[in-house]
Structure 1
Amino acid sequence: MGENEKEVGEGTGELTEERTRGVDTPSSGPNVDQEGWPAWLQSAYETLAQYDRLRNVDVWVRLLEEWVALERKYGFENPGGPSAFYTKIGRPDLVDWWSRVARKKVRMEGPGSMPPVKTFAKSFQVWWAAINPDWRERDGSNGCLRLDHRVEIKDKDRWEEMKKPGQCGILTIMVCLFHWFQGVETREDEDEWRKIADDVQWVVGRMNKAIKYVDWSSTR
């Protein structure tokens, strides 16, 4: 075993500090353009990007980059009201807590009590399937998305129902992934988180590619 490696407890599946921090892929953090960011985006990004255990996790870094780029394409819109949120079908209670308590400033700390990691993972996957377009393939046994078979249709409006900019939209998905990861303690749980985070990153990336940049300053 090399001097920079640490042993994982045999048979326990416990994560080493290195593994949870993702130092297998060290980086300087997300490469983003922060010019013109509104206060809500700046505050949320600072919290989501500065958490030590996620700072160098590739899929999280890529997701942050895609997310803020997409918010820019949406002109940093920040609508409010029930319609600004994704569906309540299967929505984790964490989103309701966040909208009441922490929306003005994304916090490092989650609610006083979170469901067990495996319970939260299942509930998030139900919600994630509910908010994705109907054309994405589902698993017939549980209704969750088929993450091993991602095919994007050609329709120009294919991601329209996913368009939820601002604090009440895609940011709520980011918040769920963020607090979910804080509870991860085993390799199995981290692998499950990475699998879902990778799909979220794929969706946000495809949404980015599907829309053209809009110069909102010229329309105001």
Structure 2
Amino acid sequence: PSWLTYAGDYLSDEGLGNEWTDCVKAWLAFEASFGYTEASASRLPESKSRPAIISRWLQSRKYGQTPLTFDDAATFAQEWTTWWGALQPEWRKPPHNCNLPKLMSTMSPDDDIHVLRKGGPSGLVTVVIGLKWWG
């Protein structure tokens, strides 16, 4: 699908290091597991904590533009981690005084992450795009 081509090209940035390249490869494999869906019905849960800049970007989806300036990168990082924490299933919600969720290694057999398994143009790609802006 065209959205995947645009997103993949936009996210591919070797200047962000090997870890970033591995992250993009993992995201592409994740999308492949959904058959590269076009479905916009596969959305992340609504969250009032989603950074406004991501909400605005979602309206235009201009993959070639990064709407951040250096001056607001620290604020965006705080907003992004709060949003990421809010998206998590209950068992993985961040502990108090921390915005980052519990590690996947703490997952028990009864826990799942189905609320995050959202492929397509309105799915996990929005989180990954936010990570790029933060990078």
TM band (smaller chain): 0.7 to 0.9
Distance 1:119 1:74, change over 3 A: same
RMSD of Structure 2 on Structure 1 (CA):
2.5
Look up the match of 2:63: 106
Q: Which has the higher contact order (CA 8 A, sep 6+)?
A: 2
- Mapped to 2, the partners of 1:132 and 1:101 lie a distance apart of 26
Tell me how far 1:77 sits from its aligned partner: 1.7
Look up the match of 2:100: 145
Contact in 2 for aligned 1:92/1:120 (Cα 8 Å): yes
Quick check: which has more Rg, 1 or 2? Answer: 1
Contact in 2 for aligned 1:94/1:176 (Cα 8 Å): no
Look up the match of 1:67: 27
Look up the match of 2:124: 170
Tell me how far 1:136 sits from its aligned partner: 1.5
1:48 paired to 2:11: yes
Look up the match of 1:190: none
Equivalences, count: 135
Tell me how far 1:95 sits from its aligned partner: 1.8
Distance 1:149 1:79, change over 3 A: closer
| Larger helix percent | 2
Tell me how far 1:62 sits from its aligned partner: 1.3
- Mapped to 2, the partners of 1:162 and 1:118 lie a distance apart of 25
Look up the match of 1:131: 87
- Mapped to 2, the partners of 1:74 and 1:66 lie a distance apart of 13
Contact in 2 for aligned 1:120/1:180 (Cα 8 Å): yes
Contact in 2 for aligned 1:87/1:130 (Cα 8 Å): no
Q: Report the TM-score when normalising by structure 2.
A: 0.84
Name stretches of at least 5 consecutive residues in structure 1 with no aligned partner.
Answer: 1-37, 182-220
- Mapped to 2, the partners of 1:148 and 1:70 lie a distance apart of 19
The percentage of aligned residue pairs carrying the same residue is: 26
Code of the residue aligned with 2:3 in structure 1: it is W
Choose from 14, 36, 59 the match for 1:76.
36
Contact in 1 for aligned 2:89/2:113 (Cα 8 Å): yes
- Mapped to 2, the partners of 1:58 and 1:149 lie a distance apart of 21
Name stretches of at least 5 consecutive residues in structure 2 with no aligned partner.
Answer: none
CA offset digits 1:149-204 (Å, max 9, x no partner): 8412213x6011112111111110111011122xxxxxxxxxxxxxxxxxxxxxxx
Contact in 2 for aligned 1:97/1:111 (Cα 8 Å): no
